[in-house]
Structure 1
Amino acid sequence: MKNFQQINLFIFLNGLLIFDFLPIHPIKIFAKDLDLSDLTKINNNSPQFKPMETQKGFDFSISNYISKNKMIEDLKANGDGLFNLLAFEQKDLEEEFFVEIDSDLQYRDKDLFVAEGNAIIYLSDATLSAELVKYDLTNKILTVVGNVIFKKGEQYFEASKLIYNLKEDTGNIYDVYGLLDSKTFGEDFKLELDKNAKKLEKLEKIKGTNQPKYINTATIGLVNKFEDDKAFNITDTDLEIPKISRWRYKTNEFIYNSKTLESKKIYFTNDIYNKPQFIFLSKNFSAEIIDNKLRLLSKNSWIILDNKLKIPIGRQSVIDKEDSLIRWGFGADFDDKDGYFFYRSSYPKKIFRDFSLQLQPYFLIQRALKGNTNAFRAKNTSVFSGKEKNDISFSDYLALDLLLNGKEKNWNIESKIQLNSLDISRLDESLRTKLILSKRINLKNTQKTKSNITNDYALNKISDIQGDLNNDKFLNNFIGIDETADSKPNFKEDNSLNIYSEKNKQTFTNLLDIQIYNIFREKVVKDFATEEIHFASGFNIANKKAWLNNEKYSSLSLIYDLGHFKSKSRSVDEFRELFRNSFVGQYNYQFPIWKKNALDKTIDKTYKFTPNVISQSLDWSTAIQSGIFLYSDGSNQNVLKFKTGPVLTIGSFKKKILDYTKVRANYNYTLKEGQSPFSFDNIDDEPRINLNLQQQIFGPLLLSFDTSVNLNTGSYTNVKYGLDFKRRAYSIGAFYNSTDKSAGIKFNIFNFDYSGLSDKF
């Protein structure tokens, strides 16, 4: 009897084992049964599962093993292009695409391979996790459901559901919210995964943002691209998306295949907090791979400010600026174009190798309505005669700018051509040209050093450093000595040129700029006049250094220029044609007298009017400039200029009334020996005081005032009024310069860096 029982038990256990290996029976012996349909209703905001320490459950049948490998092979064959596109990037793989699947439970259910419970698909350089992954082996349909998270480097999105038909190469993603980090594209797609590694970290969402800091500013057009000295000229709404490092985005649905990614409506924001102050709305958005390059295009774009003002900006290239997209604009130039005009602008169009051409035709409204022009001399008069009223033809209604940019053997090549009338008979007066070959060498190798700047005082001073180092008045306007009222103009920062140590509070920049130029009718804006160089060609070289050491800022620029000039004589109405050698040096030093220490380390939601913590301080700024100018007729001009004065910044710009004031004042004294034979570079030696005031009025409104006061005559020059609407994520500003009757508008979008991800907006 005992032997009979043993035989029956042996037969039963073997029968159970054989039955378990039958593919028709999906037994789940290591996990609780789960209604798969319920998983489609899982809340997308539920917390991500943590890695489990318990033994995972698997169906060890041969059928399950084969079906899992089949899914992996199908993804290897078809998934590479898809997952690159989902990260808004395209990369050519040099090695085989790697795929692995992990979950709490894996089994086969008829024609479905199922991975459920903390399911994660590991790819060569990306991960896709969810609560359930199903793969239809017959129809080749991948379904990922419940707290879907995709991560590739710094590129990230979460969704409620992802479907991909590998046979048809089509799919959908629903309820998407993600982070696009453009600054790490190059790094994200060079990641490698150890194929032999058994322990792989699970992907977790970082809740909230950490250590937010302002980096720099991207400007939306509304300023002249071709000539900085033009009057009010709204060129376009050129949204420089690549300048923004991190964009949050959301959409109800992505429709995609391995070549295109589309959405009927998608929202982008640079703001790190909710409710976002700035939103870029893209309708009929598409990401497409063309010639192995990803291009993101919005066919119908809008800017939404504080969820109150909605501005249409037309068809835009969201990332790639090489698309030839046509845009319309409106502006005014009262000197060369007789007032207001319409224009039609295009993005730079590649013509050959690394060279691109941009065209901007104008229709001069005010000139056409008046029926005459005041921008040219009378016929058959001297080149030094004043401008007079002239009759016009239809060709005078039109103007054209051309900008050619290129690169050849590490040299930047830029050619600008401006025609203020298409009437050929006025060519000598309407034409302005400039050809510049330039090269910048970073003498301080910082390529392997990452900037670690968290000190806002240091950030502001580094901004000043970039302003000084990029101040190319010496190179472009050929004055040689800083003749303008604002000695620290706002230039775009490039912190990659800096090495900064928070521990030692030091930064150092050392640049060598080389430039070869050829110009025809170049305007030179000086303090008390606007002069013109009729013709010039030459070469210059400049070494520019800057230091920030224990909050004391210094910069030194040494410049040599050799040029051949043809321009108006200083003393009589005639041209002089001479060679000029010039040696210019400039040293700036700024140190804090008082500095408020109890400042926030980083901004938070209470900062509604500024992208960074205001460094409140009283600084003293001093500059010494010297120049020696030698002319081929034997004349010379030697100049020593001294500038000094306070810079006071108070207020955090957090409260609504009078919570921010910045005052800069400096006294200018010049010692001069000799005179220039030219009018354009003859240095004015009269003493003056330069004043700049910025004052918050109420909320985001900031009033600014600039002027230069001649102490001998009491006259005011370069009087400029400004009114800005300042927000954390963007700013809108307008100015009017009463001296040259110019006006302008600028729209800035602020760039932030941070870790983590805020909740869906």
Structure 2
Amino acid sequence: MPLPLIVPAVPPTAELAEVALVAAAEQGRWLEVPSAVPAPITTEVTPMVGAAWLLPLAQAVDSTPLFLPPVSPVDPIHPVPEDHQLDVVPGANPEPEAPEDFPEPEASGQDSGQDSGQDSDPARQTPGQDSELDPPDLDHSPGEAAFPLEEAEAILLRANRQVFEPIRQIVTATGDVLIQFGTDQIAADRLWANLANRHLRAEGNVFFNRNNQIIEGDSVTYNLLQGAGDLINARGELQLSTLDDDLSGPALGAGDGRPLDYRLQTQGTISQVTGTGRVAAATGNPAALLGGQPENLRRLRFESNRLYFDAEGWYVDDLRLTNDPFSPPELEFRASNARLTPLNEFEDELVFSNPRLVFDQGLTIPLWRRRIVLQRGQVPVEDLNPLPAGVGIDGRDRDGLFFEAEFPLPIDGPWTISLAPQFLVGRWLGESNFNLAAPANFGLTASLNGPLGARTSLTGNISLSGLDLANLENRLRASFRGQRQIGTHRLNLEYTYRDRLFNGSLGFQDVQSSLGLLLQSPNIALGTTGLNLNYQVSGQYITANTDRPNLLAPGVGVGLTDLARVQASADLSRSFVLWQGQPLPATPTAGLRYSDRPLVPRLGLSVGMRGVATYYSSDDLQESIEGRVSLSGQLGRLQRNTFDYTQFNLGFSRSFIGGDSSPFLFDRFIDQTVLSGGIVQQIYGPFLAGFQTALNLDTGRVIDTNLIFEYRRRTYGLLLSYSPTQDTGFLGFRISTFDWVGRTAPFDAAPGTPSDVIVQ
């Protein structure tokens, strides 16, 4: 009667049943053969001594592989008698017996698979099938295996003690077990290997490693023929930058000898936590959310009740994901189950059911998306936005408040195309008189980007501020940019249609069309002077508004004119640190309580000079030299509940204009003497408020003012920005990304675990 199986047995043919085991013995670590059963083969064990014991298996040159010759599966008609007892080597501790459900050898061709039921949940369906995703069906014939047996060169095993049972063809290893097959490794306290079926089972402090991904669990079963396995109570970290390669099938063979450390039990608790950057989802300019730190998500922690994988993908039950290195996490993504499968060499598909964001282990917000396409391992931040739609304000084009929801189009390759339908609430409440079906109440934006070569890329954006196509010329805006890297410089070929630019006291100005080239330099440090230089040169053919009578028809005050423009500019700047304090330790109760980085109290001064010369085909030459000085700083560390953080800036600029003024309105120098300033102040806990403003001292007119309201946490943040002058604003969502060293605590660990976090 066959034994109950956790992983169905797949017996190989006799001529393929060859496995190489490394006997890594030291001071009594031996491969033992029970003496009561005659050993059909002879074994030679070479002790591994000295530093070689600590090296990765592929580098353990002092160890001698032990090759087991081909064996035949046990005849199921003549099983080992139940009363036959296996003796243990005298003086040795009894070895743990193989679990009752561990697969025994079976006759070739025996089928122990089960039909799977139907399930409409897309996260539990394999690509192209409608079957339920139970643990991957490992019960295929050897010919259907994802990794043919003949490609597997060796299995490398080391442990404090190994016992081989020739009749059952089972190797039992105990004590610091480490087994390697290709680039995969399993570390555990106990391991059973069925040589006939090529099944492994490990228990106790289990660590499964595939390339850069390390997963911890209570137990693991693994099918060497198919590269498929099952982990119980899995948790670990995802390195998103290498996710595509790491989650692919294992590279078979003895490994490539990289110095890897798989026994994370020896590492200390989490330390050296650093915020590496931010990603933001917003309908407006996300610069305030990013804070000068744009960065893709790099590293996530996860936990799952069960994780199973095969050659087609990875499948997870009760998934929990977080960007927070501390436990319990501030922000979690949860799903009842999920499936990750490759679509092509550039994209992977993540499908899940019941997705939701959980804030501070309490507030739960469901997410409407059930599918995410990862581009080279990167998660689109829009897919994690807890807001059901983007929120923006555009009083000039969209009559005020509007909502939008962006989604990418499913296309293959490195190119991305996304669409964002919009509902214009302000126009619906006003101009259309609550007519919900009016096309003018709906808008659309589209974006495209992708590579044209190793050093060339293309981006494009189209905006329709209303679908009433009869008014298309007043609704459509578009821009396209081809960019090529030339050494350290960037060359742009740009075309814009109805570009909207804000020119200080003159307000928004439309550029009807523009086509031209722009060459930009990087920031160049001038030796050890502390000075930084950058410059750019451009040439365009432009159609835009002018108020010059000689460029317009008689009687026209402001109208369009066509001119060629050539412009060159250079900027020289230097910054000084006047005073700087010390940050708090990077712990969740100190430096990282309300910030993704420990804040450093400081006071700084910056000075700069900018020169611009522009020639127009109307024979006008506009020249200007601007000098500027600004004082900025931040006080407090945002660790206490009230008034523990103040960020401020105060600036003054003066422009000296020579020659003619620009014939266009969009680039005419108007504000020659400007005073600017702003402040952001902690009010209570994570709530901050502030403003930024600029004033023309020559006219006394306010150029622009922005009001800022922020909810700031370590792992995420919300920002509301509104400019009464421009009548624009947005509500944005920010997610921070971190890096750290050491093992993190389980998600449900008590606050303060771990507690020895030290800033690097």
User: Structure 1-normalised TM-score?
Assistant: 0.71
Shift of 1:208: 1.1
Per the alignment, residue 21 of structure 1 pairs with 39
Distance 1:150 1:531, change over 3 A: same
Per the alignment, residue 312 of structure 1 pairs with 366
Taking the TM superposition and a 5 Å limit, the aligned residue runs for 1:9-48 are 20-21=38-39, 26-29=86-89, 31-36=92-97
Which moves more between the two structures, 708-717 or 360-369? 360-369
Per the alignment, residue 625 of structure 1 pairs with 610
2:357 to 303, 307, 311: 303
Question: Are the aligned partners of 1:692 and 1:705 in contact in 2 as well (CA < 8 Å)?
Answer: yes
1:588 equivalent to 2:632? Answer no
Per the alignment, residue 288 of structure 1 pairs with 341
Q: Distance in 1 between matches of 2:723 and 2:573?
A: 27
Taking the TM superposition and a 5 Å limit, the aligned residue runs for 1:409-448 are 409=453, 410-441=455-486, 443=487
Specify the code of the residue in structure 1 equivalent to 2:619. G
Shift of 1:316: 5.2
Question: Are the aligned partners of 2:491 and 2:519 in contact in 1 as well (CA < 8 Å)?
Answer: yes
Per the alignment, residue 561 of structure 2 pairs with 576
Per the alignment, residue 271 of structure 1 pairs with 324
Distance 1:144 1:335, change over 3 A: same
1:755 equivalent to 2:741? Answer yes
Q: Distance in 2 between matches of 1:119 and 1:241?
A: 42
Question: Are the aligned partners of 1:105 and 1:117 in contact in 2 as well (CA < 8 Å)?
Answer: no
Per the alignment, residue 647 of structure 2 pairs with 662
Per the alignment, residue 612 of structure 1 pairs with 597
Taking the TM superposition and a 5 Å limit, the aligned residue runs for 1:188-587 are 203-205=263-265, 206-219=267-280, 221-224=281-284, 228=285, 243-291=296-344, 294-315=348-369, 320-321=374-375, 329-332=389-392, 333-350=394-411, 354-370=414-430, 372=432, 394-409=438-453, 410-441=455-486, 443=487, 511-528=488-505, 529-547=507-525, 554-571=531-548, 572-587=557-572
Per the alignment, residue 651 of structure 1 pairs with 636
Q: Distance in 2 between matches of 1:684 and 1:636?
A: 15
Question: Are the aligned partners of 2:95 and 2:174 in contact in 1 as well (CA < 8 Å)?
Answer: no
User: Alpha-carbon deviations, 1:307-338, whole Å to 9, x = none?
Assistant: 23222222255670499999962534332223
Q: Distance in 2 between matches of 1:654 and 1:602?
A: 11
Shift of 1:207: 2.9
Distance 1:725 1:295, change over 3 A: same
Which moves more between the two structures, 295-304 or 647-656? 295-304
Question: Are the aligned partners of 1:570 and 1:676 in contact in 2 as well (CA < 8 Å)?
Answer: no
Per the alignment, residue 457 of structure 1 pairs with none
User: Alpha-carbon deviations, 1:492-551, whole Å to 9, x = none?
Assistant: xxxxxxxxxxxxxxxxxxx4121111111000012221111011111110112154999x
Shift of 1:275: 2.1
Q: Distance in 1 between matches of 2:475 and 2:100?
A: 70
Shift of 1:676: 0.4
Distance 1:311 1:241, change over 3 A: farther
**Any idea what SS the aligned residue of 1:183 has?**
helix
Shift of 1:638: 0.4
Q: Distance in 1 between matches of 2:153 and 2:653?
A: 66
Distance 1:677 1:357, change over 3 A: same
Distance 1:643 1:168, change over 3 A: closer
1:719 equivalent to 2:705? Answer yes
Taking the TM superposition and a 5 Å limit, the aligned residue runs for 1:113-132 are 113-132=171-190
Shift of 1:649: 1.8
Distance 1:185 1:357, change over 3 A: closer
User: Alpha-carbon deviations, 1:611-642, whole Å to 9, x = none?
Assistant: 21222221111121110010111111101111
**Any idea what SS the aligned residue of 1:314 has?**
coil
Q: Distance in 2 between matches of 1:319 and 1:623?
A: 44
Which moves more between the two structures, 555-564 or 394-403? 394-403
**Any idea what SS the aligned residue of 2:354 has?**
strand
Q: Distance in 1 between matches of 2:470 and 2:272?
A: 61
Question: Are the aligned partners of 2:178 and 2:186 in contact in 1 as well (CA < 8 Å)?
Answer: yes
Distance 1:401 1:564, change over 3 A: same
Per the alignment, residue 446 of structure 1 pairs with none
Per the alignment, residue 215 of structure 2 pairs with 157
- Percent identical among aligned pairs is 19
Per the alignment, residue 146 of structure 1 pairs with 204
Q: Distance in 2 between matches of 1:759 and 1:229?
A: 33
Distance 1:603 1:589, change over 3 A: farther
Shift of 1:747: 1.4
**Any idea what SS the aligned residue of 2:541 has?**
strand
Q: Distance in 2 between matches of 1:91 and 1:751?
A: 36
Specify the code of the residue in structure 1 equivalent to 2:699. T
Specify the code of the residue in structure 2 equivalent to 1:31. A
**Any idea what SS the aligned residue of 1:372 has?**
coil
User: Alpha-carbon deviations, 1:553-594, whole Å to 9, x = none?
Assistant: 643211101011111104431212111111111122111112
Question: Are the aligned partners of 2:337 and 2:352 in contact in 1 as well (CA < 8 Å)?
Answer: yes
Q: How many residues align?
A: 605
Q: Distance in 2 between matches of 1:202 and 1:619?
A: 45
Shift of 1:695: 1.4
Q: Distance in 1 between matches of 2:520 and 2:238?
A: 38
Distance 1:364 1:648, change over 3 A: closer
Which moves more between the two structures, 537-546 or 626-635? 537-546
Question: Are the aligned partners of 2:432 and 2:441 in contact in 1 as well (CA < 8 Å)?
Answer: no
Specify the code of the residue in structure 2 equivalent to 1:101. L
Q: Distance in 2 between matches of 1:92 and 1:427?
A: 60
Shift of 1:363: 3.7
Specify the code of the residue in structure 1 equivalent to 2:466. S
Specify the code of the residue in structure 1 equivalent to 2:177. A
Question: Are the aligned partners of 1:626 and 1:640 in contact in 2 as well (CA < 8 Å)?
Answer: yes
Specify the code of the residue in structure 2 equivalent to 1:301. P
| Structure that is richer in helix per residue | 1
**Any idea what SS the aligned residue of 1:629 has?**
strand
Per the alignment, residue 471 of structure 1 pairs with none
Distance 1:526 1:267, change over 3 A: same
Specify the code of the residue in structure 2 equivalent to 1:119. V
Shift of 1:96: 5.8
Shift of 1:132: 1.6
**Any idea what SS the aligned residue of 1:426 has?**
helix
Shift of 1:215: 1.0
User: Alpha-carbon deviations, 1:325-356, whole Å to 9, x = none?
Assistant: 999625343322233445443214426x6443
Q: Distance in 2 between matches of 1:576 and 1:682?
A: 15
For the aligned residues, what is the CA RMSD? 4.1
Q: Distance in 2 between matches of 1:719 and 1:199?
A: 56
Q: Distance in 2 between matches of 1:138 and 1:392?
A: 69
Shift of 1:643: 1.0
**Any idea what SS the aligned residue of 2:470 has?**
helix
User: Structure 2-normalised TM-score?
Assistant: 0.71
Shift of 1:191: 9.7
Question: Are the aligned partners of 1:182 and 1:242 in contact in 2 as well (CA < 8 Å)?
Answer: no
Specify the code of the residue in structure 1 equivalent to 2:534. S
Shift of 1:760: 1.1
Which moves more between the two structures, 95-104 or 697-706? 95-104
Per the alignment, residue 742 of structure 1 pairs with 728
Shift of 1:304: 1.6
2:717 to 712, 723, 731: 731
Q: Distance in 1 between matches of 2:260 and 2:567?
A: 64
Shift of 1:21: 2.6
